[in-house]
Amino acid sequence: MRDPCPVGMRGIVPSLNTPFTADDAIDLDGVRRFVDRTVASGAAGMLLLAVAGEGQSLTRREVRAIAETAVAQNARRVPVIVSVTATDAAERRWRAGLAAAIGADAGRWRR
């Protein structure tokens, strides 16, 4: 039987929240800590910028900063999936292009 999971993951893949500072700025140090804790917990991968990640509420600049920070901090330890959900098709294409450009793993991770 063909594996229905295109990225070969088995286990828990949490959707990471986006942390904010007290003044409502994106907390990139918090993103790094979330990534490290997620890997340390034994998660099979992680999902960024989905509903829990406030993906629809962020600017492109914020989306890029979170995605780049998380992928770099992860350092290919587990698969990282970047949500491309958006109401606008152009925005979906931009987010998919960003995910591919920064080395997000959905669609090509194999163990």
Nearest to 84 by CA among 75, 93, 72: 93
**Position 41 pLDDT exceeds 60:** yes
pLDDT tens for each residue of 10-25: 899 999 999 999 999 9
pTM: 0.86
Structural domain contains residue 17: no
Overall number of domains in the chain:
1
Structural domain contains residue 68: yes
Structural domain contains residue 81: yes
For 20, the 3-state DSSP assignment is: strand
Structural domain contains residue 54: yes
Structural domain contains residue 19: no
Structural domain contains residue 97: yes
Structural domain contains residue 7: no
Give the domain range for residue 95. 28-102
Nearest to 49 by CA among 36, 60, 39, 33: 60
Structural domain contains residue 55: yes
The β-bridge partners of 15 are 47
Kindly state the average pLDDT of the residues 76-90: 92
